[in-house]
Structure 1
């Protein structure tokens, strides 16, 4: 059992309280009600309440409700279309060239993976709503921890010191939510703890969100714990640096400006922060990735636990869904033998990145192809296409997670390998502060860790096209691919097509407006300050 800063029974109880403080869940304009309705002074009598309340903010990244894994605290959305990590995976990975979902009667999945979505897609609504719930919860935490309220409660000096770090973490989680809104939607309802309760939110566009995220993460850096100095599942300086590196790498998309030097600066901070690559690539995706060698590589996880945080999140989906319809290979993965009967398969374009013999023994290549055709001409035919064994509910010591459906495997939202690849790409794009030798060393370290014999690359071997392919080999099914393809100018248009892109068997060009998702119709109806993205 994981006994760390986890979303356990206490923080689930807190989630009940915090959820009760949210109104307007039906239209997803999430704002807290009177902050004394349930979180009265009795709640704060014990000073441990502040850490518990912070855990409730983190809880929203894993849980969808408080009545079991199938419950949802967002009206009109079920747990499968409103769990943060799962909808992020759908919008960043299922929409691109790596993954196919077999059961297209599941709400929204057909439209996402065929790139034919609209403003009424429940997965899009789920991401928009879930991110704003995190923002509302963070704002509520910040309102409850002002100097004035701490003075009223005679909070001790020791607890006040801890609360300084807690407030920085809440602000980071809020900034991270705005980061994903900026990336996926280009705008967001914008409220902070300083805004009046139930105030109609203004809307920030991409440039305003970029500035806010940058300024906020810079402002809180000193109050965050150093990398590797926090309980597993909590955010440190490393997470703030990671988000900053991400926004700078993608700054030309977000604000039309080159920020590659800044990206390298923050990659260097992360690399110097004490993180190290896991000794085994697959340790990052196992049930004990909080304690095995991956604990030093994963910068920030989305928590999953088969006992305390049962949810239909990304790792539960991918491990159960990866079990082949032909192979029934669930037992070695730590789930039921049949799993979900071939729910997930690999698109041809990902498989082809591992085709050359140089990748046959690469540990990142967990594709099972025996007895299968690489082509998927009928998405409903679960016997078509290759399957993947990247994620598992097994441990590095040979045991398994506590439950055969709800896995113990945390989702590695950010990890060091991504930083190495970002450093290399930013250097190739002209950023200052990196050098050829380090680029080659970082790429070769990933190859060596994967037991790939081609691990003596020089800078002449490492091009931008190489980096894009290597990112797919290293980071597939980790919710990065759409963002990468947008940055490379390949997500829309017809320069690069993949199977079922644009609902064509072999792929067709996409209009450029699909580089952003639409603002959900329900959200437009709730806030007249929102405007629909172009083309929808």
Structure 2
């Protein structure tokens, strides 16, 4: 884990306050904006120019975007989880692309995330790091590893294309740091909180933050006007979609869908949700994870509703 400094504390508070209505029943969007402002106005953080560089083996170099990372170095942190899991797990992705040998050929997307992008490659939006060769968009058969696109978002190579030096006996360990918090989440939290009625911010500033993300995505330049949207287009639904485009595979989506009441309901469906190809609603109990068996055995009084 990287050093958890004051910025990390503020980022955690902004995330908690964004979700406060789910947790406590009381909205705290003004507080979320307060802590977003503290991070942004500190001047300690800035967007990296190229989106893809954020998820490469040398992503610790010149990176002012990460507020708090989990640090992985192949000579110290040797395990088969972490960013190794994100490099080796995607179906079909080869060593020539991801920098590690022996793909596990497992993880794929449902259609919902790729369809949020203007194309399935990086010709327009450079965040669309989908692996499509030999893969179908629709996952008609769950057990068929060629059903569903995968991703090469996390790659264990240097940004100049050179190989990462392996300093361990295994010779196949990722050097990629994983972001717990990074600046785009703060921009997106600010925008959503403003749109949900929080005080201390405004739509004009929120729009500027969103367009910085899109400028980088479309032109490797946060100041570019490519990809810009208008204030009329900036809605809470747009922010949800933009967060998916910016932060897929960064452990954010489930929490976002719960906050929007879309994880379990039929207002948002994806392939095989609820066990059917077209998708269907499921019990709201799944907004909470089940309590692990070991904990239930240790304390029979523990219980989540409807489990």
Q: TM-score, length-normalised on structure 1?
A: 0.53
**Counterparts of 2:280 and 2:120 in 1: how far apart (Å)?**
30
Please identify which structure carries the higher helix content: 1
Q: Is the 8 A contact 1:275 1:416 kept in 2?
A: yes
Q: 2:11 aligns with which of 242, 245, 248?
A: 242
Q: Is the 8 A contact 1:320 1:405 kept in 2?
A: no
1:434 positional shift? 0.7
| 1:422-433 map, 5 Å | 422-433=189-200
Give the count of matched residue pairs: 297
Q: Is the 8 A contact 1:498 1:506 kept in 2?
A: yes
Q: 1:298 aligns with which of 59, 66, 79?
A: 66
CA RMSD of aligned residues (A): 1.9
1:457 has 2:229 as partner: yes
**Counterparts of 2:279 and 2:175 in 1: how far apart (Å)?**
36
> Residues 299-345 of structure 1, C-alpha deviation per residue, up to 9 Å, x if partnerless?
11112121210112231111111251xxx522232111x422x2111
C-alpha change, 1:396 and 1:468, in structure 2 (3 Å) is: same
**Counterparts of 1:518 and 1:458 in 2: how far apart (Å)?**
42
Q: 2:188 aligns with which of 421, 427, 432?
A: 421
Q: 1:395 aligns with which of 158, 161, 183?
A: 158
C-alpha change, 1:421 and 1:359, in structure 2 (3 Å) is: farther
Instruction: Tell me which residue corresponds to 1:264.
Output: 33
**Counterparts of 1:307 and 1:314 in 2: how far apart (Å)?**
14
Q: TM-score, length-normalised on structure 2?
A: 0.91
C-alpha change, 1:500 and 1:303, in structure 2 (3 Å) is: same
C-alpha change, 1:346 and 1:448, in structure 2 (3 Å) is: same
Instruction: Tell me which residue corresponds to 1:330.
Output: 95
Instruction: Tell me which residue corresponds to 1:310.
Output: 78
SS at match of 1:414: strand
Q: Highest Rg: 1 or 2? A: 1
| 1:49-64 map, 5 Å | none
1:483 positional shift? 0.1
1:521 has 2:284 as partner: no
C-alpha change, 1:278 and 1:262, in structure 2 (3 Å) is: same
C-alpha change, 1:350 and 1:357, in structure 2 (3 Å) is: closer
**Counterparts of 1:354 and 1:280 in 2: how far apart (Å)?**
18
1:356 positional shift? 5.1
Q: 1:531 aligns with which of 274, 287, 302?
A: 302
Instruction: Tell me which residue corresponds to 1:408.
Output: 175
**Counterparts of 2:55 and 2:289 in 1: how far apart (Å)?**
29
> What runs of 5+ residues in structure 2 fail to find an aligned partner?
220-224
1:499 has 2:267 as partner: no
1:477 positional shift? 0.3
Q: Is the 8 A contact 1:306 1:401 kept in 2?
A: no
**Counterparts of 2:304 and 2:140 in 1: how far apart (Å)?**
32
Instruction: Tell me which residue corresponds to 2:125.
Output: 362
Q: Is the 8 A contact 1:439 1:459 kept in 2?
A: no
Q: Is the 8 A contact 1:315 1:409 kept in 2?
A: yes
